Structure 1
Amino acid sequence: MKKYKKSIHKILLLLISTCILACSSDKKTLNPLDNRELDLSITVPPGGNSWVINSTKQDAVLIHDSGIHNWTALDDIIRIYFHTKLTGELHLGLHMKSEKGPSTIKVTVGNTTKDVVIDNTTYKNVEIGMFDITKPGYNFIEIQGLQKTGEYIGDIDKILLGGPATASGISFVPSDFSLHFGRRGPSVHLTYKMPENKDITYFYNEITVPKGEDVVGSYFMANGFGEGYFGIQVNSDTERRILFSVWSPFVTDDPSTIPDDYKVILLGKGEGVTAGNFGGEGSGGQSYKVFDWKPENTYKFLLKGEPSINNSTDYTAYFYAPEESEWKLIASFRRPHTNTYLKRFHSFLENFSPHTGFISRKGKYTNQWVYDTQGEWYELTKAKFTADATARDKARLDYAGGVKESSFYLKNCGFFDDNTIINTEFSRTSNGIKPNIDFSSLPSLGSQ
């Protein structure tokens, strides 16, 4: 009988030991952190902070001001970006629903991925779990569908965050900021220091776009002045343009409302140039030429501006491509109610496509010179870095500018962390080489 009891005792001990070992191999069973309530006190609007990173076409279909909708394809990869000052534990939830029945999604933050089944067909908070933020700065949540029951994987109208990593606050595009401009990203500028008490008739600049930085939606603006701008764009995967515009002195976003005596007049344009009006961000005269400019090539820009008849000023833009080895006329406009030489010289880099705001781009701005009425060239070697309201209001923090040797540069978008303090002043190395331009040989308004 004693031997029988001892045998039973040994069997019980063995079963208990086996159970303990089995339980210890299941971290979810023994880890008390898994039972903690998630802190989901911060709401991030997906409309202004999300992109379909593997398809700009799908991005236009899925991402809306109200959230992520029309999500049908399992190969769509959605990223939501946010910026933290701290590392540590991040709590994550999604306010979402599936269409008809269960959908399974994959959610990744850093090196951790969780598969989550969504079976609620009305909106509710879905707790995703805890993740480790290993670096301060920009991080992202990546979401992809794995399985779906109906046509749609699901709808997401809120990203819910919290936890120790957010204790010092986080940055993202808030719901009371323009989600359109938030997705476009910050615009960045260089304002050049000018020689004093000079009447400037010409402004010369050069731009080189490094390989891989020519992202769709980019406008590398070389010659900005008080009444307009002149530069190169990436308009689509198949089209690039040279763009030159002059604002009307009549302030409106609708060009059809401009009185006749305030309209910008086209004086002439080059071969292959389209000219007309523009609106939406002020209004005026606009010209562009479709031109397949290349990264790594250096393009030259020359702007002329001088007072004309009847209290007006004429502005003329010329473009030099190394592929063609000669100056080409873009267009010449007359701006009424204006009597001035060229002033307020600047350059900028902007992204006009909200679908590519998650991709960084950079331009080099080199060899700035101005020419005055006395026939003297002056080199511009100093510039102040500034940025638009998207940066100043801290909706986006991925903006930078500066100097490298003899070139200024501007960089934006892409959620990089090393930004530049706004209003920082920079000086580039002087090269002392004046532009070699015979003004008399430039194309006349009637020659092209």
Structure 2
Amino acid sequence: MRYVAAALLGLMFSYVGLAEAQTATSVPLGGNAYITVAPKNAAETINDTGLHNWTSSQTVVSTYFYAGQAGTLDLSLAGSLAGASHSQVKVSLGGQTRTADLYGTGTSPFPVGSFYVDAPGYVKVDLQGVSTDGKYFGDISDLLIDGAASTGAVFANDPANFYWSRRGPSVHLGFGVPANTEYFYSEITVPQGQDPVGTYYMANGFDVGYAGIQVNSPKERWVLFSVWDSPTGSTTLVRKGSQVITNGFGGEGTGGQSHLVFPWVAGKTYRFLTRAQPDGSGNTLYSFWFGVPVDKKNAKSGVEWKFLATWKYVGRVSYLTSTYSFLEGFNPATGYLGRRASYGNQWAIGADGTWTEITRARFTVDATGRNQQRLDFAGGANGNAFFLRNDGFFSDTVAPDQYFDRSANLIHPEVDFSQLP
């Protein structure tokens, strides 16, 4: 009798799910979900087709989408039991919890129930396995959403770019600098708690290279300086600093990369100094120094400068142009974690030694944001510094292509160029 009842219940759910699927919006887990809680050696994976290998009842899978308005949200799960005949799954949204019964051997929608979304903005739907009579709880490909709160929903819907949508939108600040800018100086402060693994805080970018700091793992952090190859030949290393590792890079273009393993920490302000120097033979030498805050008893300016590298860019004579900064998450598995940094005290130093403070920046976002695959991006000015923010599925989006002005510091930092390593 229990088996017959379960079969009839499953058939009823299939009919209800079919009716709902005809009007519901599908939010694919492949581009919008993350494993946010997992035991050690968890087997669960998320790929472009959704959630798989869901074996642990301790694992929490979180799916995010932007609700266009407040109201009721009717929710179902699309997928299959993959060998089981019955699983129970806890589904949570905004403090509301429902238990979904998944029945059947085919692929079908599984109704969950109704929730209430109290305001437009990002919502998080958590899935956690409760019980199953198979090896794992099931394969889930999509959330099916309906009701008032689903109106105008925004989420990643381009399977060809799910890798980028799970990473999250990259945000940038573009600076205008005077002609013949030989050096560019700036500072970054990463607030405590805003430094998840898989983040690059790029401070000093220019038309053919960039320098900044990143979080590679829970135990390792880098300072990086990269210069792309020119159209006429490969970028070559001229010299490098102590303990600096150099190599070529590929993927998004090719060129030379230098990095220093260094335990920078959130809450401290770090300095960045890049230089463009024509070599007199038709090429340009690009160099980078990283400034670490120290006690003024040990350094006149309160900064210890570490030299990373000088790279030769062949076939062109140039000073620094198209200067910019950016913030990006480069690990798709951590794209649900928020990142923020303060970018300040930008100065251009001309070949004649003139210092010019840069107090205006243009805020932009990459294709992930422009194509509305993600809306959790922001930038602007706060006092005497700019800021960039991305990921974390916050709802306070800042429209790109705006200019922001920070307040001026008026006095340039102390840098003794003759004493740089």
Does the alignment reach a TM-score above 0.5? yes
- Separation (CA, whole Å) in 1 of partners of 2:268 and 2:308: 19
Cα displacement string for residues 323-382 of structure 1 (whole angstroms, at most 9, x for unaligned residues): 584211101100112221110110000000101111111001110001101110000000
- Separation (CA, whole Å) in 2 of partners of 1:217 and 1:227: 23
Cα displacement string for residues 48-86 of structure 1 (whole angstroms, at most 9, x for unaligned residues): 100111249878941111110011111001111011221
CA 170–82 in structure 1, closer or farther in 2 if over 3 Å, else same:
same
Aligned counterpart in structure 2 of residue 152 of structure 1, from 127, 136, 147: 136
Aligned to 1:108: 92
Aligned to 1:90: 73
1:121 CA drift (Å): 2.8
Aligned counterpart in structure 2 of residue 220 of structure 1, from 168, 188, 201: 201
Residue identity matched to 2:223: I
Residue identity matched to 2:351: T
Task: Describe the SS at the equivalent of 1:262.
Answer: coil
Equivalent residues of 1:38, 1:129 under 8 A apart: no
Aligned to 2:242: 271
1:366 is the counterpart of 2:366: no
Cα displacement string for residues 12-71 of structure 1 (whole angstroms, at most 9, x for unaligned residues): xxxxxxxxxxxxxxxxxxxxxx99964642111111100111249878941111110011
Aligned to 2:8: none
Matches within 5 A, 1:230-241: 230-241=211-222
- Separation (CA, whole Å) in 2 of partners of 1:276 and 1:37: 57
1:100 CA drift (Å): 2.4
Aligned to 1:72: 55
- Separation (CA, whole Å) in 2 of partners of 1:283 and 1:350: 19
1:133 is the counterpart of 2:117: yes
Task: Describe the SS at the equivalent of 1:53.
Answer: strand
1:93 CA drift (Å): 1.2
Number of residue pairs aligned between Structure 1 and Structure 2: 397
Aligned to 2:379: 401
Cα displacement string for residues 150-199 of structure 1 (whole angstroms, at most 9, x for unaligned residues): 221110112211112223x210000345000000000000011323xx20
Equivalent residues of 2:17, 2:76 under 8 A apart: no
Aligned to 1:380: 358
CA 57–339 in structure 1, closer or farther in 2 if over 3 Å, else same:
farther
Residue identity matched to 1:213: Q
- Separation (CA, whole Å) in 2 of partners of 1:296 and 1:397: 27
- Separation (CA, whole Å) in 1 of partners of 2:245 and 2:211: 14
Equivalent residues of 2:44, 2:51 under 8 A apart: no
- Separation (CA, whole Å) in 2 of partners of 1:396 and 1:435: 38
Aligned to 2:7: none
CA 78–271 in structure 1, closer or farther in 2 if over 3 Å, else same:
same
CA 343–390 in structure 1, closer or farther in 2 if over 3 Å, else same:
same
Matches within 5 A, 1:220-369: 220-250=201-231, 262-323=233-294, 325-369=303-347
TM-score of the two chains, using structure 2 as the length reference: 0.90
Gaps of 5+ in 2: 1-15
Residue identity matched to 1:298: T
Equivalent residues of 2:31, 2:159 under 8 A apart: no
CA 60–395 in structure 1, closer or farther in 2 if over 3 Å, else same:
farther
- Separation (CA, whole Å) in 1 of partners of 2:41 and 2:31: 16
1:312 CA drift (Å): 1.4
Task: Describe the SS at the equivalent of 2:53.
Answer: strand
Residue identity matched to 2:218: D
Aligned to 1:6: none
1:62 is the counterpart of 2:45: yes
Task: Describe the SS at the equivalent of 1:350.
Answer: strand
Equivalent residues of 1:59, 1:355 under 8 A apart: no
- Greater shift after overlay, 115-124 or 295-304? 115-124
Aligned to 1:47: 30
From the CA coordinates, give the structure whose radius of gyration is larger.
Answer: 1
Residue identity matched to 1:146: V
Aligned to 1:205: 186
Equivalent residues of 1:224, 1:230 under 8 A apart: yes
Cα displacement string for residues 305-331 of structure 1 (whole angstroms, at most 9, x for unaligned residues): 022243211100001111584211101
- Separation (CA, whole Å) in 2 of partners of 1:171 and 1:120: 31
Aligned to 2:3: none
- Greater shift after overlay, 118-127 or 417-426? 118-127
CA 222–60 in structure 1, closer or farther in 2 if over 3 Å, else same:
farther
Equivalent residues of 1:38, 1:163 under 8 A apart: no
1:425 is the counterpart of 2:408: no
Task: Describe the SS at the equivalent of 2:78.
Answer: strand
TM-score of the two chains, using structure 1 as the length reference: 0.85
CA 432–35 in structure 1, closer or farther in 2 if over 3 Å, else same:
closer
Matches within 5 A, 1:151-170: 151-167=135-151, 169-170=152-153
Aligned to 1:9: none
